[in-house]
Amino acid sequence: MLTKQKPMVLKGQLPLKNLYTAGLAGNDFLHALKKGEILSSACHACGTTYVPARYFCERCFENISQNYKSVSPQGELVSWTGCYVGLNGKRSSTPAVVGAIRLYGASTVFVHFLKVPKANLRTGLKVQAVFKPESKRVGSILDISYFAPAK
Ligand SMILES: [Zn+2]
């Protein structure tokens, strides 16, 4: 029989250290970024093309690890927002603008920084990835510096 009790609270600190990996498909995706490519994986069963690439279709669970294909570095802005907390966890008085971009050839959206004048932000805006110079790429999501209006 369940009884209602006041929850027990233990105060203290846990000295946790974590190491996150990108996973197999994420690893392949990041290696492709280092080469200046944006890797997708397509599910032939349901027709969904994922960016970043995945090993399994999250909609129908097909193995799509052999269906990699580079997609265009250009796409359309689907949505955007301003972030007042940076990747370092610190607050900022000016927001970083982050967009959800549907790259041409992809079904899903890809989230990344935008460098678009605020007055020009609109759904459907054509944007393109701006990669760091090849010598500066390390296999990170930040090998793409940001997305800017397509030329
Ligand atoms: Zn599928």
Q: For 101-111, what is each residue's pLDDT tens digit? A: 999 999 999 99
Q: 135 C-alpha to center of ligand 1: Å?
A: 36
Summary mean pLDDT of the chain: 95
Q: What are phi and psi of 150, to 5 degrees?
A: -70, 145
pLDDT confidence of residue 31: 97
pLDDT confidence of residue 59: 97
- What's the rounded Cα separation, in Å, for the pair 18 and 37? 29
Q: 134 C-alpha to center of ligand 1: Å?
A: 33
pLDDT confidence of residue 66: 96
Q: 107 C-alpha to center of ligand 1: Å?
A: 11
Q: 57 C-alpha to center of ligand 1: Å?
A: 5
pLDDT confidence of residue 73: 98
Residues of the chain with pLDDT under 70: none
pLDDT confidence of residue 61: 97
pLDDT confidence of residue 87: 81
